[in-house]
Amino acid sequence: MSQLSRKQLDTDNHVSVETEWTRLKDVANNIETLRSLDRTSENKVKLAVATLREEPISQKRRKYKLFLCDVLKKCGPVGVLLCATVLGTNKVFDMGKTRRLAFINKLEANKIQPPLASTVLLNIALHHQIPASIEDLRKLGSHDISQKLATDENLSIQATGDTSSAQAAALLVQGQSTERETQRNGHDNHQPGTIQGFPNSLTLDHPLDREDKDGPTLLQADDLPGFQISVLANQPPQSVFDLDIIHLIGFLQRFQSVSSSPQQFTVMLGLLQGYQTNCPSLQYIQLIIPWSGALPSIDIKIDSQIGWSAKIQLSVTLAVELVNYAQDSPTAKTADGRIP
């Protein structure tokens, strides 16, 4: 290729990247204004989520998945939301490798600026089931992700209400990667016994293989009258752990000391410390770890006159580490079995 044609190609790539970046910002502004997706955009996001979780057959879908995984790794769920909405499968495929790489580099260079740092868009992305991180995508059973993709743990705190005031609670924080892959020796609902770990792909089949699982399934024995088990289809099994909010604060402080963005942790810790100071009833919080499907979470619900309610989501690995951190505390358990 001549020097002139190579320069022309570089110029064309730059123009294309800048054009798509401008479109992406315009679309992001519209979504932020409406605080929701239109039907077309919603369908594009659903396709992107399905692509992330499937084993693509066609070359076009494989390239789209690799692109989305790279965006998720470098720019988080907001990047996936906007790329799915603005580009889609066909445009990503037609961009070619060089322009795809250039566009991802453009996104990464602006990931701490609007619109990629928007809390409104982060809430929308998580609402539409876009994984919070590559690690969380792996926990959901994704296959064939490039070994080059990072395994950084992600912890996201989502605050409800006006996002300009709740921005601190929706920051996406990069934690430290972990090599610990442990097996859970037993399940004890609402009993904080010693935790060795949870299998990442634990699945409990419904006791009756039937398509209609909207209502409960009744299990009975003829020779045991008066005894039955109602298996509720909409309430999957889960483990619940009572933690002191100070343990969550201490757990985050461990990551703050090694983070490249400690100011993000400072803002989040300030929010949690505010809960601890102003809401005595929140001394104990519940960590819910579903045995399959959804991510572990902590819901903090308070009176709107006091402050902002919040939802904390974390990967299975981080949830297990949080429980282990609380149990390793030198303080003893309380009489009612809580982790003090």
Query: Band of the pLDDT at 203, cuts 50, 70, 90?
Result: very low
Q: Where are the alpha helices (DSSP H) in 87-236?
A: 88-109, 119-127, 134-139
Domain coordinates of the chain in residue numbers?
12-145, 152-202+232-340
Stretch among 47-51, 80-84, 95-99, 265-269 having the lowest mean pLDDT: 265-269
pLDDT, residue 216, reads 58
Residue 221 has pLDDT above 50, yes or no: yes
- At 217, is the secondary structure helix, strand, or coil? strand
pLDDT, residue 171, reads 33
pLDDT higher at 291 or 318: 318
Report whether 198 contacts 316 (CB < 8 A).
yes
28-43 pLDDT tens trace: 999 988 888 988 899 9
Residue 285 has pLDDT above 70, yes or no: yes
Instruction: State the number of CA atoms in the 13 A half-sphere of 200 facing the CB.
Output: 15
pLDDT, residue 217, reads 64
pLDDT, residue 199, reads 38
pLDDT, residue 235, reads 59
pLDDT, the chain, mean: 71
The dihedral region occupied by 33, where left means phi > 0, alpha psi between -120 and 50, and beta the remainder, is alpha
Distance (Å, rounded) from C-alpha 78 to C-alpha 264?
17
pLDDT, residue 77, reads 92
pLDDT higher at 197 or 239: 239
pLDDT, residue 2, reads 47
- Can you tell me the mean pLDDT for 225-233? 68
pLDDT, residue 318, reads 84
Residue 45 has pLDDT above 60, yes or no: yes
Distance (Å, rounded) from C-alpha 63 to C-alpha 217?
43
pLDDT, residue 243, reads 82
Percent of the chain residues topping a pLDDT of 90: 21
- At 335, is the secondary structure helix, strand, or coil? coil
pLDDT, residue 234, reads 59
- Can you tell me the mean pLDDT for 227-249? 74
> Any long-range contacts for 89-98 (C-beta under 8 Å, 24+ apart)?
89/47, 89/51, 89/60, 89/61, 89/64, 90/60, 92/63, 92/64, 92/67, 93/60, 93/63, 93/64, 95/16, 98/9, 98/13
The neighbour count for residue 334, using CB atoms within 10 Å, is 12
Give the list of residues 6+ apart from residue 192 with CB closer than 8 angstroms, or none.
Answer: 241, 242, 323, 326, 327, 333, 337, 338, 339
Task: Give me the sign of the Cα torsion angle 266, 301, 78, 31.
Answer: negative
User: Strand (E) positions, the chain?
Assistant: 154-159, 172-174, 217-220, 228-231, 238-244, 284-290, 297-300, 310-314
Residue 176 has pLDDT above 90, yes or no: no
Residue 13 has pLDDT above 70, yes or no: no
pLDDT higher at 58 or 227: 58
pLDDT, residue 256, reads 82
54-93 pLDDT tens trace: 887 788 889 999 999 999 999 999 999 999 999 999 999 9
Residue 197 has pLDDT above 70, yes or no: no
Residue 207 has pLDDT above 80, yes or no: no
> Residue 165 gets which letter from DSSP?
T
Looking up tokens 């239109």, which residue turns up?
38
- Can you tell me the mean pLDDT for 253-258? 83
Distance (Å, rounded) from C-alpha 80 to C-alpha 49?
9
The neighbour count for residue 308, using CB atoms within 10 Å, is 18
Closest CA to 153 of 127, 169, 171, 172: 172
Q: How far is CA 107 from the centre of its chain?
A: 19
DSSP assignment of 56-113:
--SHHHHHHHHHHHHHHHHHHHHHHHHHHHHTHHHHHHHHHHHHHHHHHHHHHHTTTS
Q: How far is CA 94 from the centre of its chain?
A: 29
150-173 pLDDT tens trace: 333 334 444 444 333 333 333 333
Distance (Å, rounded) from C-alpha 74 to C-alpha 154?
12
Predicted structure pTM score: 0.42
